[in-house]
Amino acid sequence: MPHPLPVAHDLENFSGADTTFAAVFRKALRRRGLPLERIREHLRAQQISVSLATLSHWQRGRSQPEKAQSLRAVDALEPLLDLPTGALRSLLGPHRPRGGARPPDPAAARGVFGEDSDVEQALGDAFAHFNAGLRALTVQETVCLDEHRAIRETSVTTVVQAVHDGVDHLSIVHFLDSPKAGTAVLDVPGRPAPRIRFLEELGCVTAEIPLGRRLVRTETAVIAYTLRAEGEASWQHERRVTVPLRSYLLHVCFHPRAVPTHCWGYRRERIGADPCHRHRTALDDFHTTHLMPTRCVPGVYGIEWTWPD
């Protein structure tokens, strides 16, 4: 017979990565000494049908309860596991698309980048595994130009989701406009500055930014960083999106002594293709403009501008 477990009035025994649904469910099963077969029979007695495979996936973090029947099962399990009402329910994240977080597909990336792209040249053999453990959910970029019409600073905040256990860093590649060697500086607030690699022949920098801990599958992390570099005059900024994003915001800030005459936002199917959606974007009184597509499907998104002369 399983050993009785004192009723848990809170989740103080769980902390950090242990406060996921999978970790709490798994630990409660272990402490109660209950096999999954016993759990399934308990649910059947309450006319709730959940397979052993599904229960196994729940405790391993490969899936989580989402359908109405599964949520009924969660409510029925809490008293059996001596957990307070709502303890397991409160640990369920937002509803995920069918199949959960999926790794980026190199073939899909080539569909946007093109064959033998500058990104693939920069990464070499690592291109096939480029951030394969992460899926971007949201991206916000702020690009600031100086009085010489050059992009001096690019700040990025992105929310990523792990597609498997153990992911601990985000890899980035940024292409610069005629960059000056040795001027690129990468700043990650609250963390040591990551080592950057400057590829002069491609005009880009690459770096690996630590997430601060190893994520388990479906966990999310927020990464913010700023890249500063000196370069020549710019006339556009764009981002290549290889998986659908929940949201993307590009905010461009011009120097008061270098204000463009017109700005256009656009989307292209792939690098080198003509824009399929192009529209004027207004400059405000603070000399900024922005692009925020209502749907951010894979493709190339950007803002371009013209200078007075």
Residue 109 predicted with pLDDT over 80: no
The predicted pLDDT at position 62 comes to: 66
Residue 113 predicted with pLDDT over 80: no
Q: 283 or 105: whose pLDDT is higher?
A: 283
Long-range Cβ contacts of 85-90 (<8 Å, 24+ apart): 87/8, 87/11, 87/24, 88/21, 88/24, 88/25
- Element at 23 (helix H, strand E): helix 21-32
pLDDT, average across residues 217-221: 92
Average the pLDDT over each of 42-56, 88-102, 193-207 and give the range with the smallest value: 88-102
Residue 304 predicted with pLDDT over 70: yes
Provide CB contacts within 8 A for 190, sequence distance 6+: none
The predicted pLDDT at position 16 comes to: 43
Please, what's the b/e burial string for 44-57 (b: 16 or more CB within 10 A of its CB; e: otherwise)?
eeeebebeeebbeb
Contact present, 222 and 175 (Cβ < 8 Å):
no
pLDDT band at residue 251 under the 50/70/90 scheme: very high
Q: 128 or 288: whose pLDDT is higher?
A: 288
d(CA 284, CA 87): 48
Q: 254 or 2: whose pLDDT is higher?
A: 254
Residue 221 predicted with pLDDT over 80: yes
What phi, psi does 128 have (nearest 5°)?
-65, -20
DSSP 150: B
pTM of the model: 0.65
d(CA 129, CA 118): 16
- Locate 233 and state its tokens: 């005059």
Task: Give whole-number Cα distances, 195 to 35, 172, 207, 210, in Å.
Answer: 48, 12, 6, 11
The predicted pLDDT at position 147 comes to: 96
Rg (CA), the chain: 24
Which has the closest alpha carbon to 22: 67, 54, 50?
54
End-to-end distance of the chain based on CA atoms, in angstroms? 84
